[in-house]
Structure 1
């Protein structure tokens, strides 16, 4: 399998060959009571890293809205990477992880485990995160916390693995290499 070319004809490999979407879950944001700061921060970070932005949505904390937004980002806008922010805690309205049950073909627990481990070094509340990561078709979906600070801290722990993960998800036959510290 080959990755889908973007509008410039580029495929896979470096981040610039991959399209990303940011979807923020926030009832207060949808009602205009809170400004989304994590979504724009993630967009800025990933654009600076060379990924190509293709989709943004701000949706209510509701499973149907989350599923529709992620599906649109992948199916219509061809996002290779979907970063969700918000709805991963333990409040009654936090249903992002449950929405993933309708979206994931396969789960990648190591991504969420690494984010929680890195976050636990910063705050004991990290153990309350229920964020998940998984694959839908040939796209990677990663759930991040809703606060700007926590979203950036969490994604920093795993972002370096995304280009390789995306290459493999797209069907790259290249062997996985073990990176060692020198």
Structure 2
């Protein structure tokens, strides 16, 4: 079981004015693959998001951290900036694959600024804020997630197909 963290970026969610359906969608879709060890709802604030990611990666040593929300063009959408400030290596293929899948559903997917990358031994992946989009994106990511984490953590050394 992968050790997972979930960060929901939502001003209304952080104030208790909106239920976090997207974070719960992530948790439900990870059933059998990962165990959510830490789950927070924070405001759309770059410093707060950054601190939550650092805590999950550096202090809790989680294997993967999913963020949801804050990836669009709105003035408070700062999740990608927070992510870019903490990762050491980008993993652009993840965000590219998610956008490609989402483009099959809506052309608005091209407006996503989601990123993915590695901090130390933790993979951080930005997901959209809507539960439907979270599900679509995770359907792309989950089949390769365990293998990617095993490579990142040194538990597997082969990426080539046999």
The reply to whether TM is greater than 0.5 is: yes
Q: How many residues align?
A: 162
- Are residues 1:41 and 2:7 paired? no
Task: Encode CA deviations 1:50-79: one digit per residue, 9 max, x unaligned.
Answer: 312100010010110001111111223221
Contact 2:71–2:112 (CA<8 Å) still a contact in 1?
yes
Partners of 1:63 and 1:171 lie apart in 2 by 31
- Are residues 1:66 and 2:66 paired? no
Consecutive unaligned residues of structure 1, counting only runs of 5 or more, are 1-15
Among 28, 45, 59, the alignment partner of 2:12 is: 28
- Are residues 1:146 and 2:129 paired? yes
Task: Encode CA deviations 1:84-138: one digit per residue, 9 max, x unaligned.
Answer: 0000001110000111121101000000000000000001110000000000000
Partners of 1:124 and 1:50 lie apart in 2 by 31
Bigger Rg, which one: 1
Secondary structure, counterpart of 1:158 in structure 2: helix
Consecutive unaligned residues of structure 2, counting only runs of 5 or more, are none
Mapping 1:61-100, distance limit 5 Å: 61-100=44-83
4+ runs of 1 displaced by more than 6 Å?
A: none
Partners of 1:104 and 1:138 lie apart in 2 by 10
Q: Normalized per residue, which structure has more helix?
A: 2
Partners of 1:142 and 1:174 lie apart in 2 by 22
Deviation at 1:36, TM superposition (A): 0.7
Deviation at 1:173, TM superposition (A): 5.1
RMSD of aligned Cα (Å) = 1.2
The worse-fitting range, judged by mean Cα deviation, of 72-81 and 160-169 is 72-81
Partners of 1:178 and 1:116 lie apart in 2 by 24
Task: Encode CA deviations 1:35-55: one digit per residue, 9 max, x unaligned.
Answer: 110001111111x23312100
